[in-house]
Amino acid sequence: MKVESRIFEIITAFFFLCAIVYSVLTHEVVGMAGLFLTGGLSLIIGTYFRFVSRRLEERPEDNPEAEVSDGAGDVGFFSPGSYWPITLAGSAALVAISLAFFYVWSLVIAGVLLLISVGGLVFEYHLRPSDH
């Protein structure tokens, strides 16, 4: 996580520098506020990554002398044939369209479909505990 925090710290410095230069050159308030807020948001993310990186053990990405083979191994379990990502994408698109045209009735239906899709994706491989 140290690499990610360093990236966001560099982005933070870039946005604050751009905001200062922009405010000196243009005196335009909205763009200046947007650049300062963008720098602040990237500062929040970089600070979070820096805080989390102290509590985790070092990953191969954080070691400059690491080999490619150090990162080998299982990454996680990914479902080979799940339909839930498609339903999640479709319901999220329906939510976006409903918000764009502000159809409240469609937004309610899309919200329910989105919750069902998220629940289906999260609990796809959840097994009920045995009864003994």
Question: What's the whole-number average pLDDT of the chain?
Answer: 90
Per-position DSSP letters for 44-95, written without gaps between them = HHHHHHHHHHHHSPPPGGG-TT--GGGG-S------SS-SHHHHHHHHHHHH
Q: What digits encode the pLDDT tens for the residues 24-68? A: 999 899 999 999 999 999 999 999 999 998 888 888 877 888 888
Instruction: Give domain status of residue 13, yes or no.
Output: yes
Instruction: Give domain status of residue 106, yes or no.
Output: yes
- Does pTM top 0.75 for this prediction? no
Q: What domain range is 47 assigned to? A: 2-65
Instruction: Give domain status of residue 127, yes or no.
Output: no
Number of domains the chain is built from? 2
Instruction: Give domain status of residue 108, yes or no.
Output: yes
